[in-house]
A and B are shown apart, each in its own frame.
Chain A
Amino acid sequence: MLWKGILFFLVILAIQGPLRYLLPPGFGPPDLFLLASLVLAARVKPVWGLLAAYGLGLVQDLVGHGLLGLHAIGLAGAVLLYYGLQRWLGRHTLLQETLGLLAALLGQWGSYLIVAAWLRDGLITPHTLVTIFPLEVLATLIFFPLVQAFARWAFGELAVPEAQQP
């Protein structure tokens, strides 16, 4: 069902910006590209997941007319930490999934910080970390189950590795 997968990414692409209009003032939109990267990373081999996340981030940079490579490396960092935590904890329970998402957010913002330190142009300030980051974490956590459900419709259920089967 290739068309479902394409539709999934088109919807993510289409509603990421407009979501800002529907949320209350001061409430940042969730990072749907991050959630899409994680959904994809959970379904493909890690190397491909990492590269796909980078590619998705490049699309986000192109669409957003921003710094080319900023969101790309953010999503790559997110997927890297997501894989790292998943390797230790697995992803069997809701708590593990949530911890994986939090690790991904840390990886994403950690990557942003590296790029910001490299650019030295005030891209990320302490004020940004205090105001935007918590709201984005909250919004992304809230939207996580919705995107997961959408991904189950688009890509099917996650395959359980043989080692984890009862």
Chain B
Amino acid sequence: MTWRRLALIYLGLLAVSLMSTRFLPDPPLALSSGIAPITALTIHAAEVIHRDLRYIARQRTLEQNYRRLRRKYTALNAKYLRLRIQAAREKAAAQIRNLQSPGLVGIAQVIGVSTSPLLARLTINRGSADGIHRFMPVTVPQGLVGQVVQTSRKQAEVITLVDPRSRVGVTVPGLGGQGVAVGRPPGELEASFPTGLALKVGDPVVTDSLGGVYPTGIPVGTIAQVLPPPPNGILQHVLITPDVNVNDLEEVAILQAL
């Protein structure tokens, strides 16, 4: 019964609404001006809240963007550094191929140096698994470093040219003559040449085929001192300052053994 009554009331109200929506003008503004202060206040409050929320959201977005860009920058910087190191290696490898020997086996990092004050040896991070074998010459673009004397699977030991047990066949370009340079720690070589050569301080010294270990023409150093000839000697001795400071190497190139 109530439901029917409600439906009838609704129909009556519907009729009123249909008439009012069709024939009555829009309600005047004066009718709503009474609550205008309330709505104005809440609208202002809502605008302030909305603006603050938007500001916080923007700050969060900016912070997220900053973190994302920071991560990207770090990754790109690391990539750039890797590429720069790789480019330096490639450049060094190209120099070695062009100037010293085309038989470049690879580039290795120096991971250890001899702790003895008498010896001058290096440990590199490549070994037999990388195709490194004994007697392979080791160089850098500036000149000769030494040769591999021992290998393990992942590492190799290099005897540098200033080690007292190092023997390098050398010559002076333009003068001819073959000599042998022996290491003289901490940082020199002593080379013996046949007498009769007009050796003088400042002459460059390069590798020679003597001994059959090193490719010819790799820079070894510069004559620093011509020692007085021993009486009745058949050899003259010179001190050589090597072109390569073997105590300051990070990477070296390994060449094919002859």
Does B bind A? yes
- Residue positions of A touching B, CB distance < 8 A: 10, 13-15, 17-19, 21-22, 46-47, 50-51, 54, 61-70, 72-73, 76-77, 80, 83-84, 87, 111, 114-115, 118-119
The residue that A51 contacts in the complex, of B7, B9, B19, B53, with Cβ under 8 A, is B9
**Please, how many angstroms separate the alpha-carbon atoms of A62 and B25 in the complex?**
11
List, sorted by A's number, 28 A–B pairs whose CB atoms are closer than 8 Å: A13-B35, A13-B38, A14-B38, A14-B42, A15-B46, A18-B43, A18-B47, A21-B49, A22-B46, A22-B49, A46-B6, A50-B6, A50-B13, A51-B9, A62-B31, A67-B20, A68-B24, A69-B16, A69-B24, A73-B16, A73-B18, A76-B10, A76-B13, A76-B14, A83-B6, A87-B3, A111-B17, A115-B21
A51 to chain B minimum Cβ distance, whole angstroms, is 7
* Chain B residues numbered 33-65 whose CB sits less than 8 Å from any CB in chain A: 35, 38-39, 41-43, 45-47, 49-50, 53
Q: Which residues of A contact B198 (CB under 8 A)?
A: none
- Establish whether residues A67 and B26, one from each chain, have CB atoms under 8 Å apart when the complex forms: yes
- Establish whether residues B3 and A83, one from each chain, have CB atoms under 8 Å apart when the complex forms: yes
Q: Which residues of A contact B39 (CB under 8 A)?
A: 13-14, 17-18, 63
Chain A interface mostly helix, strand, loop or mixed?
A: helix
Q: Give the residue name and chain of the B residue nearest to A64 (CB).
A: B32
The residue that B10 contacts in the complex, of A65, A66, A80, A119, with Cβ under 8 A, is A80
- Establish whether residues A84 and B10, one from each chain, have CB atoms under 8 Å apart when the complex forms: no
- Establish whether residues A111 and B14, one from each chain, have CB atoms under 8 Å apart when the complex forms: yes
**Please, how many angstroms separate the alpha-carbon atoms of A70 and B32 in the complex?**
16
Q: Give the residue name and chain of the A residue nearest to B5 (CB).
A: A47
Chain B interface mostly helix, strand, loop or mixed?
A: helix
- Establish whether residues A50 and B18, one from each chain, have CB atoms under 8 Å apart when the complex forms: no
- Establish whether residues A22 and B50, one from each chain, have CB atoms under 8 Å apart when the complex forms: yes
**Please, how many angstroms separate the alpha-carbon atoms of A54 and B29 in the complex?**
20
Q: Which residues of B contact A111 (CB under 8 A)?
A: 14, 17
Q: Which residues of A contact B20 (CB under 8 A)?
A: 67-69
B2 at the interface (CB under 8 A from A): yes
Q: Which residues of A contact B43 (CB under 8 A)?
A: 17-18, 21
Q: Which residues of B contact A18 (CB under 8 A)?
A: 39, 42-43, 45-47
Which 7 pairs from chain A and chain B are nearest by CB? A18-B46, A69-B17, A69-B20, A73-B17, A21-B46, A14-B42, A67-B21
The residue that A62 contacts in the complex, of B10, B32, B38, with Cβ under 8 A, is B32
**Please, how many angstroms separate the alpha-carbon atoms of A60 and B135 in the complex?**
98
Q: Which residues of B contact A84 (CB under 8 A)?
A: 3
- Establish whether residues B35 and A77, one from each chain, have CB atoms under 8 Å apart when the complex forms: no
**Please, how many angstroms separate the alpha-carbon atoms of A69 and B12 in the complex?**
12
B27 at the interface (CB under 8 A from A): yes
